[in-house]
Amino acid sequence: MKLTLITPRQGTDYEKNIYDYRYVAKFIFSKSYSGYLLAIPTLAALTPSDIEVKVTDENIEPIDFDAPTDLVGISVRTMFAKRAYEIASKFRKRGVKVVLGGIHTSMVPDEACQYADSIVVGEAEGVWQELLQDFKDNRLQKVYKRTLHPDLTQCPMPNRSLLKNNKYLLHIVQTTKGCPFFCEFCSVHAFDGTKIRHRSLEQVITDIKETQKDGIMGRKKAIFFADDNIVADRKYAKAFFKELTSHGVSWSCQASINVSRDDEILDLMAKSGCGGILIGFESIAEDNLRQMNKKINLTQNFSEAIQKIHSHGMLVQGSFIVGHDNDTKESFKKLAEFINNNNVLFALISILTPFPGTALFKRLEKDGRILNTDWERYDSKTVVFKPKNITPLELKKGLMHVYREVYSFKSIYRKLKYFWERDFWKEQNRRNPIKFKYRILFALRLLTYLPTIDFERIKFIFKILPWVFDKRIRLTTIITLMAYNDYAYSLREE
């Protein structure tokens, strides 16, 4: 039996997605993509060995719709649900049975059922083998749903051997699942549960060792931990970071803001190779935080938290949402100033998006404020609901304003200088030095960006050129920031 597992591409202008790093890869003439969906190697690992598995990620390769296959499994998130349904329809037309799974499928099962022969609601562990057996026995059910969340210590290690690993810049690993918070815009508590479940340290370390077998530009690949909050279970997290320290891994993660209260944990994170922590600040206005029920953020001074994390040698990647009910036209300027004044080098700004299954979706739907459910537009940079105090166009323009303010070359340079003056990347550069030949290549590549009429860019390139040969800077950081500048200016009003 042949099974094909598919990741659909992310929207039509998916190349202009701040998360996908194609922009960054382009700088080094690479076609690499950020990272795979962990669901795919997870499903591959759960599949019995007598089944031949093929994996296709449409973000890095086209789908062969004529390839021989008996069953297709597609992972679905809202922003690529439309494409997932198109793919499913094409295979079904050919008579191939299709199974859909993932967060979107689980939040709108009735919709997903229309496009599939079978769906999995929730996590696949514990139902996937049953589904495959039913398929073999020709009695595939329409819906498979597990009532209890799986014990992660009993789950197999993801099987990454089928992925085209050389096409990805990062590896994705997970240590825990679940989230005890009930933020209005998020569906994680409904999907993964509120109790933190974790894999055993042995499982995680074995998994990590496996990922360190391949590299990029002569280095081992960095890891992004797909936990919602890597420090949710502090005792476990500390034990894990201690264990990780001897493995020489570079990594980044998501964590809640209260991580900044614990110097011991920050120290362990930095020592074990953490270079950046993505924190969901969501809004700098208290009334917004209250409305979205993000209680944890109300207990902390954001500026102090950022400074504390920076003082441990880790960058804060700040995630902010615009379009809350208390946001006005003035909010965008304030947000851009906050990001710049606090030296948040990497800021991710999203338009509030009512993903299905969230309390936010229910509230806006009840109030007749959902403008459309064209899932392709649920990409966090398109307005899909009626904002309260501003128009949809003002919201989009506000997003563009913030991006352009924080990623203007002037402001990138100012922030880079701040970190350069403090020799911020000392430890990372010692651990992972950049070879001289790469510095030369980098300088030459920068020069190719000169024939442009963008004077800010020209000034920036001349100012940072000497830094390229300075050990205090990280070239990957410069590349990423230049890519983000491109992204900021690629945003359109509609």
Q: What does the DSSP 8-state code read for residue 425?
A: T
Q: How far is the CB of 351 from ligand B12 (least distance, A)?
A: 8
Q: How far is the CB of 389 from ligand B12 (least distance, A)?
A: 21
Site for ligand B12 in 466-485 (CB under 6 A): none
State which residue, 19 or 469, has the beta carbon closest to ligand B12: 19
Q: How far is the CB of 265 from ligand B12 (least distance, A)?
A: 19
Q: How far is the CB of 217 from ligand B12 (least distance, A)?
A: 20
Give the whole-angstrom CA distance, residue 328 versus residue 115. 40
Among 63, 124, 335, 364, binds ligand B12 (CB under 6 A): 124
Give the whole-angstrom CA distance, residue 215 versus residue 46. 26
Could you give the angle at which helices 302-311 and 263-271 cross, rounded to 10 degrees? 40
Q: What does the DSSP 8-state code read for residue 422?
A: T
Alpha-carbon separation of residue 77 from 88, 102, 123, 164, 333 (angstroms):
14, 6, 14, 21, 32
State which residue, 128 or 135, has the beta carbon closest to ligand B12: 128
Q: Is the Cβ–Cβ distance between 101 and 75 less than 8 Å?
A: yes
Site string for ligand B12, 167-186 (x = CB under 6 A): -----x-x-----------x
State which residue, 228 or 394, has the beta carbon closest to ligand B12: 228
Residue 17 as a binder of ligand B12 (CB under 6 A): the answer is yes
Burial of 417 (0-12, 13-18, 19+ CB in 10 A): middle
State which residue, 187 or 343, has the beta carbon closest to ligand B12: 187
State which residue, 102 or 392, has the beta carbon closest to ligand B12: 102
How many residues belong to the site for ligand B12 (CB under 6 A)?
A: 39
Among 58, 125, 207, 327, binds ligand B12 (CB under 6 A): 125
Q: Is the Cβ–Cβ distance between 482 and 452 less than 8 Å?
A: no
Residue 392 as a binder of ligand B12 (CB under 6 A): the answer is no
Among 228, 233, 327, 405, binds ligand B12 (CB under 6 A): 228
State which residue, 6 or 446, has the beta carbon closest to ligand B12: 6
Which residues, 6+ apart, have CB-to-CB distance to 13 below 8 Å?
A: none
Site for ligand B12 in 77-96 (CB under 6 A): 77-79
Size (the chain), residues: 494
Q: What is the DSSP string of 93-152?
A: HTT-EEEEESHHHHHSHHHHHTT-SEEEES--TTTHHHHHHHHHTT---SEEE-SSPP-G
Structure tokens at 107: 């939040």
Give the whole-angstrom CA distance, residue 456 versus residue 410. 7
Q: How far is the CB of 125 from ligand B12 (least distance, A)?
A: 5
State which residue, 348 or 458, has the beta carbon closest to ligand B12: 348
- CA torsion sign, 91 to 96 to 97 to 100? negative
Give the whole-angstrom CA distance, residue 1 versus residue 132. 10
> Which residue's C-beta sits nearest to ligand B12?
101
Site for ligand B12 in 100-119 (CB under 6 A): 101-104, 107
Task: Find the distance separating the first CA and the last CA of the chain, reported in whole Å.
Answer: 45
Site for ligand B12 in 237-276 (CB under 6 A): none
State which residue, 53 or 107, has the beta carbon closest to ligand B12: 107
Site string for ligand B12, 143-162 (x = CB under 6 A): --------------------
CA torsion angle 17 115 62 129 (round to 10): 100
Among 226, 257, 322, 390, binds ligand B12 (CB under 6 A): 226
Residue 44 as a binder of ligand B12 (CB under 6 A): the answer is no
Q: How far is the CB of 79 from ligand B12 (least distance, A)?
A: 6
Site string for ligand B12, 45-84 (x = CB under 6 A): ----------------------------xxx-xxx-----
Structure tokens at 387: 């904002």
Q: How far is the CB of 97 from ligand B12 (least distance, A)?
A: 12
Give the whole-angstrom CA distance, residue 484 versus residue 461. 15
Give the whole-angstrom CA distance, residue 47 versus residue 1. 11
Number of Cβ within 10 Å of residue 436's Cβ equals 9
Site for ligand B12 in 185-214 (CB under 6 A): 186-188, 192
Q: Is the Cβ–Cβ distance between 33 and 169 less than 8 Å?
A: yes
- The enclosing H or E element of 172 equals strand 170-173
State which residue, 335 or 446, has the beta carbon closest to ligand B12: 335
Binding site for ligand B12 (CB under 6 A): 10, 17, 19, 35, 37-39, 42-43, 73-75, 77-79, 99, 101-104, 107, 120, 123-125, 128, 172, 174, 186-188, 192, 224, 226, 228, 348, 350, 355, 380
